[in-house]
Amino acid sequence: MSRYVTDTHSLLWHIVGSPRLSPTARTLFSEADAGVHQILIPSIVLIEAIYLAEKRRISPAALDQLFQLLDLSPANYRVVPLDLPIVKALRAVNRAKIPEMPDRIIVATAKHLGAEIITKDAAIAAAGLVPTVW
């Protein structure tokens, strides 16, 4: 079973079936739904999802769907807490290359776990700190 870290937009686009999700990312999420892969969700992704719902950038229903997915598929979608090893890995994520703190935490999580990130974020991909897939 391959493991992939997801960023916020990728996960939310999967949840709502957005056409913004790339074919490759859509396949990875569909395969995770089927138990082929495991999607690792940094805890900051959930915090960002709540923030986006509060700002009305995503619907409360999308947030409900996200939490339902986590309740129904804990083996396929696992939340990764922000812990000391990830905080230490964060020190190696250059702020000049990836300025947004949530993105830096997502990258540090992938770096610590040795996983690729499912992301469309150009800054994360260009930084070259961890492999990305889109």
What pLDDT shows up at residue 28? 98
Q: What is the pLDDT of residue 74?
A: 85
* % of the chain surpassing 90 pLDDT: 97
* pLDDT of 123: 96
pLDDT confidence band for 29 (50 / 70 / 90): very high
Q: Which of 73, 19, 9 is nearest to 44 (CA)?
A: 9
pLDDT score, position 1: 84
Residue 73: the pLDDT is 85
Other beta carbons within 10 angstroms of residue 102's beta carbon come to 16
Second-level CATH architecture of 2-133: 3-Layer(aba) Sandwich (3.40)
Give the global pTM: 0.96
Residue 34 confidence (pLDDT): 96
Interatomic CA distance for residues 80 and 68, integer angstroms:
17
- Over the stretch 62-115, which tens digit does the pLDDT of each residue have? 999 999 999 988 899 999 999 999 999 999 999 999 999 999 999 999 999 999
Q: Return mean pLDDT, the chain.
A: 97
